[in-house]
Amino acid sequence: MTDIPILTIDGPSGSGKGTISLRVAQALGWHMLDSGALYRLVALGAMHHHLALDDAAALAEYALHLDTRFEVPEDGGEIQVYLEGRNVTRDLRTETTGNAASKVAAIQPVRAALLERQRNFAMPPGLVADGRDMGTTVFPEAKLKIFLTASVEERAKRRYKQLKEKGLGVSLRGLSEEIAERDTRDSQRSVSPLKPADDAVLVDTSDMTIDEVVQRVTQLCRQAFAK
């Protein structure tokens, strides 16, 4: 498709994808696509506009015309996300939005509506694409594909810590159950299920620190994208 270097990082929620993708994109000076945010935005917008989360046609139409903007702060802080002009950065990260996103993400016409928008993120000098089907469906030609995994327990602990730091109250056990449930839904759906691309490099992050994972991914990038 293009000769723009693309690194895809796929994996289940809580595998560390978001943090790792951002850190690697910053280290390489590349653009970043947080594809999960797009599904979250569709879910959030659908809830605002009272669209049913199983109304495929209405959701796909909404996804196609999604009015959103990502602002990268100059101080390297959290990316600010706007939906229809409103800052929704915080609402986007709640468990309610995540669960709704998982439902709309299982609808094929919604995925199709977001495909071109995702591909348009590929711009020089390169793109780090974070999601579930980046290596299998959206950027099958990517030169380096990484699939991050971690045990459900470890992922629940990480999520718990993250949400607590943001002042959002949740129970660890409830989170574990939700994560396991979402995994099943994401990996068993018929369209773009969560699974590693045949040519993906698997990295189990259960016993690794963020720095260790960033180091490993950067090392893989050096090998794959060496001139």
Asked if residues 217 and 203 have their Cβ atoms less than 8 Å apart, the reply is yes
When asked if residue 39 is in the footprint of ligand DC (CB under 6 A), the reply is yes
If one asks whether residue 205 binds ligand DC (CB under 6 A), the answer comes out as no
Question: Considering beta carbons, is residue 28 or 101 the nearer one to ligand DC?
Answer: 101
Please tell me the distance from the alpha carbon of residue 203 to that of residue 146, in angstroms, as a whole number: 7
How many helical (H) and strand (E) elements, i.e. helices and strands, does the chain have? 9, 8
Distance between CA 222 and CA 213 in Å, rounded?
14
**Window 146-185: contact mask with ligand DC (x via CB under 6 A):** ------------------------------------x---
**Closest distance of CB 170 from ligand DC, Å:** 15
Are 14 and 155 within 8 A, CB to CB? Answer: yes
Cα angle for residues 100, 36, 146 (degrees, 5° grid): 135
- Rule CB under 6 A: is residue 15 a binding residue for ligand DC? no
CB 10 within 8 A of CB 196: yes
Stretch binding ligand DC (CB under 6 A), from 36-44, 47-55, 153-161, 166-174: 36-44
CB closer to ligand DC out of 154 and 186: 186
Q: Does 132 bind ligand DC (CB under 6 A)?
A: yes
Q: Is the peptide bond before 125 cis (omega within 30 degrees of 0)?
A: yes
Given the structure tokens 């016993």, which residue do they identify?
A: 207
Q: How many residues at the interface with ligand DC, by CB under 6 A? A: 14
Regarding 136 and contact with ligand DC (CB under 6 A), the answer is no
Please report how close the Cβ of residue 73 comes to ligand DC at its closest, in angstroms.
19
Residue 167: how many CA atoms within 13 Å on its side-chain side?
Answer: 2
Contact between 13 and ligand DC by CB under 6 A: the answer reads yes
Q: Which residues bind ligand DC (CB under 6 A)?
A: 13, 35-36, 39-40, 98, 101-102, 105, 131-133, 182, 186
